[in-house]
Structure 1
């Protein structure tokens, strides 16, 4: 009997997913399960200052696993920023990596585990190349509810020689384990909570309207929207609300699973060049673009965007699609206003510099491949006009 395999419906996940309050305490046990006895903890200066890195190292050591620490990651990781850690892992004969931090830390850790295992340069693994061979065992512990990087097959590292954000993707980049402990987000600053939260909402929406969406990813995306949308403002404005933080954290992980398997679309394609050229935080640049790109895309997938509005709770089942998408656009704009998302000019991007980079930014956006998943696929001139409209 012959079997035809539809590879579009094959989904990739971490081997271990530990979820719940205090789950970080199992990091050492999980490292042992993965066969690790000597790990590098990758984090950032903030987590070091807060004492979270030392606490994690203690947990790992108590399980009988040796651990060293690298905390010199940067918010928008570049190849130069990760190479010292790569050399440290190789020279120290480490057999695993544990990432503790937000999306930039986890992205850095993925790239470190990739190059430590397979050598070479980041560009060697960027799209259109696909990372199929497993990276060094990686345990991802997110401290923000947003990027979903702990469960995705993607990492983004900037080539500092030309300010190009290189997208690396493939099943080999999925962390071996993810620990989802919402208590780590309780001390996140308001701005980071807002930006990463909108990032997670964008992941869910784009995964649902993506041309690569499927029945399975649809369920993850819709549930993510149901968890994130009603809790986003509360998580920002009342950071001690454990229930809101827990639902945001779970929603962000579900959104990560959804977009890792269904792909993101035009918002992310256009967002990366803004971050690379003007150093806008990723979640914030998504937020800047989301209303404009959604309005452009709705005519090609009105029913899908209407379902997003219903999942987010801005309308109910009795509203027709036209009313639903109108309410969705209003809500996306209101979220930006309520959470003080700046315009590009308010952020401080020089208009002349922005306009002079539109050509290369549009080319980079399209080259990423993400816009091809959008319900309405733009050409270069349309991307330029969308950048201008979002300005």
Structure 2
């Protein structure tokens, strides 16, 4: 058994990091983005101009939905095949970057079976293009990871897809871009960072290469997330959260995650509960569950100088506007009848999620069902 530590070849960080695009070599670039925010705030135009300075023709593929679908990825790949780019530029939130990664697969392999990707059977990429990730949120870290999360709309399932080939060639962290995030999105994506870092630290694959990144990311989130929510124009604070997101990604991309993400993927796929908020709500309950099988939470508490990490997370959630339970959530209302109706299926699917494999406590669909209920009703996990 051996470990592999992989990150992008280059990480470009700073207040005007988009300028790096002007230094690229190539003839064509496809920019993949989501809704209208990157256009509205001028970053799409800025990225286009920098690429044009490099002598490139630019294609825009926009309209990626919050939970990118298989169809979106296949269609994006077809558009790229018509244009034939040398570079794929993913600009936006995690959804845009996740979609760009799988569009890339279908650009280079138009007839590839998506469900082979679900089985982690990826073809060799970079036969036609290279990938750059430019995040607009400080959360998913998709600009630096081997992960992509794609939704099977017909079956209401989010699939985490993993391959070392999906790690972008370049990550560009321009601190100006996340400064446009609304407070609610800042809070939700910030707690996604927290979850990435903690799950990486307690992963069964955790090691001395990844632990320092995970610990530092947790420290930064505890110190700066509330400040970022309350003072959105403070670029120094934004830079800290942007850094935390990326270094948490450096950890979890190499050692994977746990059942917080497994469960968030499945409840998000059915009820469209925002991924970061799903993580934030369920994280303390799953810590209670996992504490019976690992001392690493205790180690983290000692390093942070706190007595109880799940209590500290609940307190931070409250300060930034995230509910203590799923039922109490105001941003996405999940009615009890609807929740109970899909609980068995959701629990089974979460158990089968790839992230479950590295959870520090061996689990089961039955245990996951109990945790979902505790997180829904706000009850202590004591089994």
Relative to the length of structure 2, the TM-score reads 0.93
Q: Residue 148 of structure 1 aligns to a residue in which SS?
A: coil
**Equivalent residue in structure 1 for 2:348, among 354, 363, 366:** 363
8 Å contact kept, 1:309–1:328? yes
Picking from 285, 298, 302, the partner of 1:306 is 298
CA distance in 2 between counterparts of 1:71 and 1:310 reads 45
The aligned residue for residue 38 of structure 1 is: 28
- Residue 42 of structure 2: which of 43, 51, 61 is its match? 51
User: Deviation of residue 331 (structure 1)?
Assistant: 0.7
Matched, 1:339 2:320: yes
Which runs of structure 1 show a deviation greater than 4 angstroms over 4 or more consecutive aligned residues?
A: none
Match of 1:378 in 2: 363
Q: Which residue of 1 aligns with 2:135?
A: 142
Call closer, same or farther: CA 1:265–1:227 in 2, change over 3 Å. Answer: same
Distance 1:28 1:120 in 2: 33
Specify the alignment match of 1:93 in structure 2. 84
SS of match in other structure, 2:159: strand
Q: Distance in 2 between matches of 1:241 and 1:132?
A: 43
2:214 to 204, 208, 221: 221
**How far does residue 248 in structure 1 lie from its aligned partner after superposition?**
0.8
Aligned to 1:72: 63
1:83 is aligned to 2:74: yes
**Which structure 1 residue ranges, 5 or more long, are not aligned?**
1-5, 316-323
Say which SS state the counterpart of residue 161 (structure 1) adopts.
coil
Aligned with 1:287: secondary structure?
Answer: helix
Listed one character per residue, the Cα deviations across residues 76-95 of structure 1 (whole Å, up to 9, x for unaligned) are 11112233322110011222
Choose from 269, 278, 284 the match for 2:277. 284
Evaluate the alpha carbon distance shift between residue 281 and residue 314 of structure 1 in structure 2; reply closer, same or farther with a 3 A threshold.
Answer: farther
Deviation, 1:132, is 5.9
The answer to whether residue 382 in structure 2 is matched with residue 388 in structure 1 is no
Question: Could you tell me how far 1:40 is from its partner in structure 2?
Answer: 0.5
C-alpha RMSD over aligned residues: 1.5
1:22 aligned onto 2:3: no
After TM superposition, give the deviation of residue 117 of structure 1 in Å: 1.2
The equivalent residue for 2:156 is 163
Shift of 1:272: 0.2
Q: Single out whichever of 161-170 and 188-197 deviates more from structure 2.
A: 161-170
Contact 1:314 1:331 in 2 (8 A): no
TM-fit CA distance, 1:52: 1.2
Judged with a 3 Å threshold, the aligned counterparts in structure 2 of structure 1 residues 380 and 83 are, in CA distance, closer, same or farther, namely same
Distance 1:132 1:20 in 2: 34
Could you list the runs of 5+ residues in structure 2 that have no partner in the other structure?
377-383
Report the Cα distance in structure 1 between the residues aligned to 2:171 and 2:204, rounded to whole angstroms: 27
- Checking the alignment, whether the CA contact within 8 Å between 1:314 and 1:328 is kept in structure 2 is no
Query: Residues 348-381 of structure 1: CA distance to partner in whole angstroms, max 9, x if unpaired?
Result: 1121111111111111111113122111121111
Displacement, 1:15?
1.7
How many corresponding residue pairs?
A: 369
SS at match of 1:307: helix
Distance 1:274 1:332 in 2: 20
Give the drift of 1:314: 4.8
How far apart are 1:191 and its partner, in Å?
A: 0.9
Conserved 8 A contact 1:131-1:168: no
